[in-house]
Amino acid sequence: MAMESNSSPNSLGEEARNWLELPADVTSMILLKLGPVDILTNAQDVCSSWRKICEDPLMWRVVDMRYSGDWWDMDYDLEEMCRQAVDRSCGQLIYIKIEHFGTDDLLQYITQSSNQLRELRLVYCNRISDEGLIKAVSKLPLLEDLEISFGSFDVETLETLGQCRPLLKSLKLNRQFYRRVECDKGALAIAENMPNLRHLQIFGNSLTNRGLEAILDGCPDLESLDLRQCFNLNLAGQLGAKCSEKIKNLRLPHDPTDDYEFSTEIVEYGDDYEEDYGYPFGLSDTDLLTDDDDYYEFSGGSDFSDYTW
């Protein structure tokens, strides 16, 4: 009998009305957790009060355009939805993340109306060109936090980004580690052009001790440094001690990757990865170790038990 009472039409109706009559600020907090895709495709059509909340520019100061579903089953035009989100922000956009889509035209659309942007994150955005990225970043005077992970941009682009945004405080430049490859060009570009960095994540980078030394010297205000899966580094000596002394939050090459959101697969050069995603910053055929008989070994940093800090 109690079950019949709880499942009565009146009871269900009261529950529905109570849900829809939540205070506007509480409803806003709930809707924000859904993300732009769910808001634009579902939540805003629930009722007139929800639509009103979903049209508030304050709901669109942060736009995370990651899509959690299956890409091959997706019926949405994410680029068009991203434009709608930017429009709804009415110039108040301060953070945007684009993943697996995006073009130069979209970046231009964002920067034309969002000069308050402080954080820009681009992940797997292979349709964005070097020129398009530079043009966009140069229009964002307040930009402090930049991520350009799993892209195929030139090292000269990284240099230009640092020069046009010298106050950049945070950079994420992540990728999958290429076995048999060493390259310090990206690290040197960071060291020479981003002196005000406080936070740097270069997961899976192919830099060597030379590149890391340059970063430590060129970025004196660095507080956090993520070097996970940077397996060309040998931090068993003075360089490791220097990192420990200088960096408050240090993640080492062999540290756990449980909290890392992307693939941690190590790529053997010769796989098809570079055909899909291009080379990392500064990497070209001339940087590859091509002697198949001289199989690349990690640079002595596989055992971290003898750190001196």
**Residue 264: C-alpha distances to residues 164, 257, 288, 298 (Å):** 32, 8, 21, 17
Residue 82: inside a domain? no
Residue 59: inside a domain? no
pLDDT at 49: 83
pLDDT at 30: 78
Q: pLDDT of 54-83, one tens digit each?
A: 899 999 999 999 866 555 556 778 999 999
Residue 215: inside a domain? yes
pLDDT at 13: 45
H-helix or E-strand spanning residue 63: strand 62-64
User: Which pTM was predicted?
Assistant: 0.80
Q: pLDDT of 254-285, one tens digit each?
A: 999 999 999 898 887 654 444 444 444 444 43
Residue 295: inside a domain? no
Residue 259: inside a domain? yes
What is 177-216 written as a DSSP string? -EETB---HHHHHHHHH-TT--EEE-TT----HHHHHHHH
Residue 158: inside a domain? no
- Mean pLDDT confidence for 162-174: 95
Q: pLDDT of 90-129, one tens digit each?
A: 999 999 999 999 999 999 999 998 989 999 999 999 999 9
Q: pLDDT of 201-257, one tens digit each?
A: 999 999 999 999 999 999 999 999 999 999 999 999 999 999 999 999 999 999 999
Residue 65: inside a domain? no
Question: Which domain, by its residues, includes 225?
Answer: 169-271
Strand partners, 200: 171, 225
**Residue 205 identity:** N
Please give the Cα distance from 201 to 184 (Å, whole number).
Answer: 15
Task: Give the total number of structural domains in the chain.
Answer: 1
